[in-house]
Chain A
Amino acid sequence: MAAHTMRPPLRASSVNVFTRRMKSGIVSGLAVLATIIVVAPLIAILFYLLKQGVTSLNWDFFTKIPVPVGEKGGGMENAIVGSGVILAIASLIGIPLGIGAGIYLAEYAGETRIGNLVRFTADVLNGVPSIVMGIAIYALIVLPQKHFSAFAGGVVLGVMMVPTVTRTTEEMLRMVPHAIREAALGLGVPTWRSVLTITLRTASAGIVTGCMLAFARVAGETAPLLFTAFGNAFRSTSLNEPIAALPLQIFVYAVSPYDEWHRLAWAGALVLIVLIIASVALVRYVVSRGTLKGAS
């Protein structure tokens, strides 16, 4: 080997080749082992959740409200409706703000200092624990109003959607080839219309799925709803009253001592997981499809 005469600057090369190869083999083996040890239980978790959920799910789950302890049956219709109401409010707040901020980052700010600051703040905001967000909104909305409400729950989740939507929108917009923008501008289209009707539309598939991902993430949030939406044993669609939500109900049922409630908790978990798997898969599909990616 030429390496011997050249004396390469690798300290490890002074050790003999056999030990080095062995070390390499052992470490590679450990990496494979770590992957197997990690992946196997993770798949097991996923399948366990799916199995428990499927065996617990039935039509009543979607159409009936909870029954008192001791009675069989009942469902989570109120929680599903409640989650729907809360998430609708959240989307109304989070998606426009997030997309707007994303447009600003991708089309106007670029790599400027303020752009980076916004990006940084969005990332940091993404890491703020959801329960802290819940407390802040509690102090902001619930305390002055003196009652829990669906509206407060929607605001918390909406605020939590903003950073995710912002970052995905920016990423998707950046994938749009520059030639398309230049072509629009070259035709004399004003910037705002080029952004809305050309760039945004080109990236729309990606942005929609990004919004779905943010939606799915907050759909499973429990902690901030504990003291904003609060939960409700009955069906309610009023924005000014406490309202039930799927993750809240799962939590309450999971820590209860009743088997029938455990069953409903599993069914609820399955519904959430399916929503999440669908959105994650969709995002991956859109991003990897290449029409956006390959063009840039």
Chain B
Amino acid sequence: MTQPAKIHVSSEPVSRLSDVKSSAKPSVVRTFLRGRGSSAIADGTFKVLVFLCALSIFGIVFLIAYELVSRSQLTLSKFGLSFFFRSAWDPVNGDFGALPFIFGTLMSSFLALLISVPFALGVAIFLTEMCPKWLRGPLSFLTELLAAIPSVVYGLWAIFVLIPILRDNVNPKLTFTLGWTGFFGGSNAGYSMLAAGVILAIMILPIISSLTREVMTSVPMVQREGVLALGATRWEMIRIGVLRNARIGIVGAIILGLGRALGETMAVTMVIGNRPEIVKSLLAPGYTMASVLANEFSEATDDLYLSALIEIGLALFLVTIVVNACARVLVWAVTRGAPARVA
């Protein structure tokens, strides 16, 4: 490596570019640079500036937590932990309990996972292991697109397409065949826990499948080749070589989908029926934590009512933070270049 003598190189010289510049017009470059004065202050300022930007992310999280905690003191001190185990919701008499909403959130998210996980895994397996190359691009584009469509648009679609289908075609059959279990009985209004579960499943499917795909892609090719070389069939190769190495990341992807489902607001609010009751039947309307916030927050007039709603928000915040943190750790464990474990 030849270092050009004329130019004052500050660090790590790379020959090509500086060679060309220096032999062409060295003096112009130098005068240009000298004309700008000392760079030590500017460099330091710039670094601090972008560092502050990065710190703002911590600031935002802290600010959200602080506001939620401080504004929900009224109900925190009045009801304590029992807030989460009571099913009263009576704004007029100031009696609040979050149980029906917690139940609704958990139930709808669970339904969504139950429906979407098998399909998401199937899609991910197809896309990584079996899909012809020309189809891979359009399919992954479609998944990205669907993950980006706003919640309110899904809700709009669900009101006018999904709910009529469920009400007229699916629900009567479910009641007829599985009515004896008690999960599919009662009235059939369309607006129901089941509808919320289905729309959530559709919404989180792209997220789960694209993350699963990412995790599966990061499993080294050698794993697949090794298993195939031992005479495995394609499924055995996928099971032993890919799924077993990627399983932690796949669990992470599913948990991430769960996090999204827990906090999903608009689409659920538009289809779940919004009734704060705990009913066994999935065809009955329900209510979730997010949708009670969406519906009642701007109407909450007295302080206790507002505080109760903010406490629900706080609970939702903490739960999603924990769920997301777990999921990220799991996904990172696989995709961050850590050598895949052979079990």
A residues neighboring B (CB under 8 Å) = 1, 3, 8-10, 12-13, 20-21, 23-24, 26-28, 30-35, 37-39, 41-43, 45-46, 48-49, 96-101, 103-105, 107-109, 118, 120-133, 135-136, 138-140, 143, 148, 159, 162-163, 166, 179, 182-183, 185-193, 195-196, 213, 216-217, 219-223, 226-227, 230, 247, 250-251, 254-255, 262, 265-266, 269, 272-273, 276-277, 279-281, 284
Q: Which of B21, B64, B121, B262 has the most CB of A within 10 A?
A: B64
Q: Is B320 in the interface zone, CB < 8 Å from A?
A: yes
Please name the residue on chain B nearest to A163 by beta carbon: B57
- The chain B residue with its CB closest to the CB of A111 is B336
Which residues of B (111-156) have their CB < 8 Å from a CB of A? 118-123, 125-127, 129-130, 139, 141-142, 144-146, 148-153, 155-156
* A23 / chain B contacts, CB cutoff of 8 Å: 233, 235
Please name all residues of chain A whose beta carbon is closer than 8 Å to the beta carbon of B23 when the two chains form the complex: none
Query: Interface-forming stretch among B8-16, B93-101, B177-185, B276-284?
Result: B8-16
B298-329 contacts to A, CB under 8 A, are 298, 309-310, 313, 316-317, 320-321, 323-325, 327-328
- Can you name the residue of chain B whose Cβ is closest to the Cβ of A106? B50
Q: Which one of B75-83, B167-175, B264-272 is at the A interface?
A: B264-272
Q: Is the CB of A31 within 8 A of B56?
A: no
Shortest beta-carbon distance from B324 to chain A in Å: 4
Task: Establish whether residues B145 and A190, one from each chain, have CB atoms under 8 Å apart when the complex forms.
Answer: no
Number of interface residues of B (CB under 8 A): 107
Could you write out 12 A-B pairs with CB less than 8 Å apart?
A9-B230, A24-B233, A31-B123, A33-B122, A101-B56, A129-B265, A136-B68, A139-B310, A183-B14, A183-B16, A220-B150, A284-B144
Which residue of chain A has the shortest Cβ distance to B159 in the bound complex? A254
Q: How far is the CB of A173 from chain B (nearest CB, A)?
A: 11
Q: Assess whether B51 is interfacial by the CB under 8 Å rule.
A: yes
Is B126 touching A34 in the complex (CB atoms < 8 A)? yes
Which A-B residue pairs are the 5 nearest by beta carbons?
Answer: A129-B263, A34-B122, A220-B150, A100-B53, A190-B39
In the bound complex, how far is the Cα of B130 from the Cα of A190, in angstroms? 50
- CB pair B18 A43 closer than 8 Å: no
Min distance, Cβ A98 to any Cβ of chain B, angstroms: 8
Q: From residue A37, how far is it (CB to closest CB) to chain B in Å?
A: 7
CB contact between B8 and one of A129, A188, A254 (< 8 Å): that residue? A188
List 14 additional contacts besides A41-B202, A132-B64; criterion CB under 8 Å: A24-B236, A27-B234, A34-B119, A38-B123, A132-B263, A135-B309, A136-B64, A187-B17, A192-B47, A193-B42, A220-B149, A221-B151, A227-B297, A284-B141
Shortest distance between the CB of A44 and any CB in chain B (Å) = 9
Residues of A within 8 A of B46 (CB): 191-192, 195-196
Nearest CB in chain B to that of A228: its residue:
B298
A20 to B240, CA, bound (A): 14
User: B45, B68, B230: which has the most chain A beta carbons within 10 Å?
Assistant: B230
Check A139–B8 contact: CB distance below 8 A.
no
With A and B bound together, what is the CA distance between A26 and B232 in angstroms?
15
Complex alpha-carbon distance, A45 and B155, angstroms: 12
Smallest distance from the beta carbon of A253 to chain B beta carbons, Å? 9
- A214 to B137: give the CA distance in the assembly, Å: 22
Q: Name A1's closest neighbour in chain B (CB-CB).
A: B231
User: Bound complex: CA of A12 vs CA of B238, how far in Å?
Assistant: 13
CA–CA, A182 and B14, complex, Å: 6
Which residues of chain B from 1 to 44 have any CB-CB distance to chain A below 8 Å in the complex? 7-14, 16-18, 21, 29-30, 33, 36, 39, 42-43
Whether A191 contacts B270 by the Cβ 8 Å rule is: no
- Tell me the nearest residue of chain B to A45, going by C-beta: B157
B13's nearest neighbour on chain A, judged by CB, is A186
B-side interface mostly:
helix
Complex Cα spacing A27 to B236, Å: 10
Q: Known: A10-B240, A104-B54, A254-B159. Is A128-B263 also a contact (CB below 8 A)? A: yes
Choice from B9, B56, B290, B328 contacting A186 with Cβ under 8 Å: B9
Report chain B residues within 8 Å CB of A100. Answer: 49-50, 52-54
Q: Which residues of A contact B240 (CB under 8 A)?
A: 10, 12
Decide if B68 touches A10 in the complex (CB within 8 Å): no
CB distance from B244 to the nearest CB of A (A): 12
Question: Is there contact, CB below 8 Å, between A269 and B153?
Answer: yes
Query: Out of A28, A35, A247, which one reaches B234, CB within 8 Å?
Result: A28
**B119 x A8 contact (CB < 8 A):** no
Taken together as a complex, chains A and B put the C-alpha atoms of A70 and B142 apart, in Å, by 39
A121 touches B10 (CB 8 A): no
* CB atoms of B153 and A39 under 8 A apart: no
B259 CB–A CB distance under 8 Å? yes
Q: Which of B56-87 contact A (CB under 8 A)?
A: 56-58, 60-61, 63-64, 67-68, 70-71
Contact A277 B145 (CB under 8 A): yes
Write out the residue numbers on chain B whose beta carbons fall within 8 Å of the beta carbon of A41: 202
Contacts A10-B236, A132-B317: A265 and B156 contacting too (C-beta < 8 A)?
yes
Shortest distance in angstroms between B112's beta carbon and chain A's nearest beta carbon?
Answer: 14
- Measured in the bound complex, the distance between the Cα atoms of B139 and A239 in whole Å is 42
- Determine which of B9, B148, B320 lies in contact with A280 in the assembled complex, contact meaning CB atoms within 8 Å: B148
